[in-house]
Amino acid sequence: MEAAASSVKDGGDLRDTELRLGLPGTEAPEKPAAPSTRGSKRALQEDDDMESRANSRPLEADSGEAPAAKAQIVGWPPIRSYRRNSFPPRKVESEAEAEAEAEAAGLYVKVSMDGAPYLRKIDLKVYKGYKELREAMDNMFKCFTQGEVSRKEGCSSGSESAITYEDKDGDLMLVGDVPWEMFISSCRRLRIMKGCEVRGLRTRQYS
Amino acid sequence: MTEDCDGEEKDEETRRWSPGQGSSSRGGGSGAAASSPLKTRCVRGRVDQAPPFSGQVLENVLENVLQFLACRRDRNAASLVCRSWYRAEARTRLELFIGNCYAVSPARALGRFRCARALVLKGRPRFADFNLVPVGWGARFSPWVAAMAAAYPWLERVCLKRMTVSDADLALLARSFSSFRDLTLICCDGFGTPGLAAVAELCRNLRVLDLIDNDVEDEDEEVVDWISRFPETATRLESLSFECVNCPVNFAALEALVARSPSLRRLRVNQHVSVGQLRCLMVRTPQLTHLGTGSFETVPAADGAAELDVAELESSFVASKSLVCLSGFRMVAPEYLPAIYPVCTGLVSLNLSYAVTTAEQLKPVVLQCHNLQTFWVLDTVGDEGLRAVAKTCKHLRELRVFPFEATEDSESAVSDAGLMAISEGCQKLRSILYFCQRMTNAAVVTMSKNCQELVVFRLCIMGRHRPDHITGEPMDEGFGAIVMNCKKLTRLAVSGLLTDKVFEYIAKHGKLVRTLSVAFAGNSDLSLRYVLEGCHKLQKLEIRDSPFGDAGLLSGIHHYYNMRFLWMNSCKLSLRGCKEVAQRLPRLVVEVFGDHNKDLDSDAVEKLYLYRSLVGPRDDVPSFVKIL
């Protein structure tokens, strides 16, 4: 949590001191340039016309037009098209936008614990790996585990629990099987299972 | 009559004894003999009329002396001395260099220089490389090759830059000149594999076929196997470069060609040649000096099941003891890069600008390249990679750092730190092209002081109007220091946040500057005025997106005849100003163009291209160009 707070703060500070010529308060969109046109020169030419008309007076653009001026300028930076086409842009524009949004928002998923009266939400982006995640979740639900022990009958001490998650296909999976990055991208919600159900799960797993 | 015959005989004899003239018996340029229609126009009256006998002896002697003059500027000076020298120089000029194909007509050029064996011809302005010149603007090779086919049967070499060359042109070239040996095409377009096939098949004496950064267009169905068209017998090929030809080549034919080309020293293949295939080629030609490696990765379809072992590849490099220049690496698989270690100490030139490598991958390579003089690289190696270069490459003369992601707001791993490191380590640097996002005046000033040999300084800060990222100041002081301290500077490209001040510095100190590139810079017409009034040697000025208007344009009227061209786009010019220039300078061609749907009533000029010309407005003007 702390890590999350400080990173946001740093990002904000950097933005404040960044040297830009736009008026304060205008944020240039962080879009990468559109993929360079390949193929027939005729297509390039049409782009040429439109772009140059749009960008002919960049210095006169007022704050309202600042985002437009930041759009792709014809022939800038000055790289020959042969070289430019050798390295296709890393992200297609729409994907990049979605990624940018996701980055800004954080990856919040619901965490439920069996028997707890209410759920929690955590930001998966904040953790570097499974160990940290487990520790955080233990902390979060600490207040509930003590009560659990007495209520559940026929089970061993309340420390028996497993963290499971629901992936994007809707299946219930055990946390810890896949690499962290893959887990983050597919996890939709987390569930801490307790007691008998867990044993059942474990049995199934090792049978 | 008798005098003329005697004169001609003497002429012939002299010719036979003078090296380099060959045994052409075309006779001297004397007016008595041939009645070729090309002889009519000339600058100074009847220059071609045969001089008296004594004068002719003198001219013959002069020719024997002048033939040793290679530099074209010296030749231009010699030709201005008097008519006799003009004639002698014209007869002995072997290489014709035409920096702007529209400055002179084929008839006129070929008419003056009857004995040229080589032609270097440049067409479109450089900003055409960045899509600023619409397609179809001009610079066609056709009229030139047609004129030469008639006038220069002994033509040997042609080098074209930014021209439009059709397949038909190439076929005509191949058919017309039996001694033809060298063809170099740089940044040209209009041709495809059929044209290459014609050259391969018909130029029996071909030694050099260098295709560099051309736009080779082929419809899929029309791709021709041009490599197979080379003669079956041993060839005289010394250099073959086809990195820009995007379609796969017949590898078996290529291998066979290489095997029967004993003189081959320079081979640069395209990215469709896999590393396994490259090895086969290297085995055939261990005497290569220049190698373009193609993809430098395994292409499963090409190599079959077996993947090439790095050790095997390395042994090929060990065997290539003469390699001094390496390029290619279009898709380099990092595990293959160490194979080049054996040749690193001998390398003079290394081009990794298509190889996405990190500093860690670069270091083991570059730390062995003690003799490197030319190095092209991608900015993915970062400041750290450049530090490694600075540490080892003490003889570096040319450095180019290209951006992996060429957009305004990309992250670049190189910055002022890298530039500073290079300036400290590579003090013999003569030429630098550096793309980055963050720069400081301090780093540029340091480079100006450390690298006194700088002739070319091109710095491109990709984000427009970016100031010094530490002080927030404009970049005026940095570029000012460059022109002040680098006394040999002839070419400069500026970028970043720049005011009129930097142009004041350039005007005051950049007395040798011949080429200046300006983008998104300056505050007012003062900038343009400074440069045009102060830079007496200025030849080529290209400006984009800067607030310069008619007043600035008019301040150069005294100088435009001394320049090759002026290009301005997206500035503040108007038709009125451009028309005034055209009126006051009749030998200047003033082209105004812009969008295809140009509103003719609008007074604003989007693109201006003006150049001096001996032949007036060209006759192949497209619809979107207006000549004032």
Q: Which two tokens stand for residue A165?
A: 């998650």
B322 pLDDT more than 90: yes
pLDDT given at position B515: 97
Contact A73/B467, CB-based, under 8 Å? no
* Rounded Cα distance, B258 and B237, in Å: 9
Which residues in B lie closer than 8 A to residue A86 (C-beta atoms)? 330, 354
Pure H helices in A56-194: 66-69, 81-84, 93-105, 130-151, 180-186
Average of per-residue pLDDT across A64-86: 72
B285-311 tens-digit pLDDT: 999 999 999 989 887 655 555 677 888
Q: Percent of chain B having pLDDT more than 70?
A: 89
* Rounded Cα distance, B336 and B320, in Å: 16
Q: Quick check: helix, strand or coil at residue A120?
A: strand
> Which of B403, B569, B594 lies at the smallest CB-CB distance from A77?
B403
Contact A77/B244, CB-based, under 8 Å? no
CB B138 within 8 A of CB B98: no
Please report, for residues A144, A193, B489, B578, the alpha-carbon distance to residue A190 in angstroms, rounded to integers and kept in the order given.
16, 10, 65, 70
Which residues in A lie closer than 8 A to residue B244 (C-beta atoms)? 82
**Closest-CA distance of chain B to residue A3, Å:** 24
Confidence of residue B204 (pLDDT cuts 50, 70, 90): very high
Contact A72/B407, CB-based, under 8 Å? yes
Confidence of residue A203 (pLDDT cuts 50, 70, 90): low
Question: Which of B187, B220, B354, B570 to mutate: most A Cβ within 10 Å?
Answer: B570
Average of per-residue pLDDT across B508-537: 96
**Sign of the CA dihedral running B515, B519, B523, B528:** positive
Helix or strand (DSSP H, E) at B325: strand B325-327
pLDDT given at position B335: 86
Contact B187/A80, CB-based, under 8 Å? yes
Average of per-residue pLDDT across B580-602: 80
B488 pLDDT more than 70: yes
Q: Between B582 and B14, whose confidence is greater?
A: B582
Q: Which chain A residue is nearest to residue B495, measuring alpha carbons? A: A77
- For chain B positions 48-77, those within 8 Å of chain A (CB to CB) are none
Q: Quick check: helix, strand or coil at residue B495?
A: coil
Q: Which chain B residue is nearest to residue A20, measuring alpha carbons? A: B466
B49-85 tens-digit pLDDT: 666 777 778 888 888 998 888 899 899 999 999 998 9
B531 pLDDT more than 80: yes
Q: Percent of chain B having pLDDT more than 90?
A: 77
Please report, for residues B254, B258, B466, the alpha-carbon distance to residue B273 in angstroms, rounded to integers and kept in the order given.
10, 14, 41
- For chain B positions 455-494, those within 8 Å of chain A (CB to CB) are 460, 462, 464-467, 469, 472
Contact B356/A41, CB-based, under 8 Å? no
Confidence of residue A101 (pLDDT cuts 50, 70, 90): low
Query: B571 in contact with A at a CB cutoff of 8 Å?
Result: no
Pairing of strands B565-574, B604-612: antiparallel
> Which of B460, B467, B594 lies at the smallest CB-CB distance from A77?
B460
B179 pLDDT more than 50: yes
Q: Which residues pair with B325 in a beta bridge?
A: B290, B349
The complex's ipTM works out to 0.81
* Rounded Cα distance, A150 and A148, in Å: 6
Which among A24-28, A161-165, B312-316, B517-521 has the top mean pLDDT? B517-521
* Rounded Cα distance, B21 and B220, in Å: 45
Query: B410 in contact with A at a CB cutoff of 8 Å?
Result: yes
Please report, for residues A16, B81, B144, B390, the alpha-carbon distance to residue B211 in angstroms, rounded to integers and kept in the order given.
49, 39, 19, 32
Confidence of residue A138 (pLDDT cuts 50, 70, 90): confident
